[in-house]
Structure 1
């Protein structure tokens, strides 16, 4: 039943060695082999959102991004919190999807990982608002905060904290259940 299903992950951080990207790499171990899983790294290449150029001549990189999102059966976004919000590069990527409906009713899971003890709750709330405008569906148990991320993962994308591991497994299981329905 899950054959030919595809989950695309997006890191809200384009920084080399990002904790958020490492979390997405870690998640790969929890995805059933029958599901194709990949991390989309092209958000750093998207131009600043401008509806004028979208109406006249959509850049090829934007078309490729939209096609990739359209092909996904589900998405996972893992983002840090910058200045109490979603990083600009992630917000920009999502803005390119507002008028084109690639994420309409698409199942999603979101993770906000932060070095702070608060865990990035402001970015998490902001991302939920944006995804609501895109009319996505955050699956049951598909929303997770990872405070003090540096104490829970190492630089090799290995989980050091058992509770965090179990939460990630539950998050992935929620998406898999949604894909199987």
Structure 2
């Protein structure tokens, strides 16, 4: 079984058999670095699972590019506005590296959910996890502990530094790129002292 399937099952508390049933109904897509799943102002009501790569959700705020989330292998990615309301997305979803996704239309996914209580519960858990992730981002953004937020982000997604420019990581942490550079320099010095 692929590693992304195990991660997906762990994150959303889903039995492997159900996950494999879902994947059988999905279509595989390939994207290049810089491709968009959806751009701000566009509609996309499909649901995707990342099998390879890193994605970033972001929006423009008075010309500033603000990162809202990062998602990697084994995580779900979709436009909340498109999926829930079939309205234009307020967030662009961009590939940070060459990536592969499995996708399914909202209609097919909802038909899948309707086929059993277990699958309906999966849908509920999935959206609960997405909401929890958003609230964690909102709460940590107000935190004065940028260093701790940075370390937690790297612990959750160590591959981010390999594919995501530091300016996007800084905007996700709600700090300037210069502040992130100071944090990284301080951690480097700390490593040398402790190393």
- The alignment's TM-score, normalised by the length of structure 1, stands at 0.25
- The alignment's TM-score, normalised by the length of structure 2, stands at 0.23
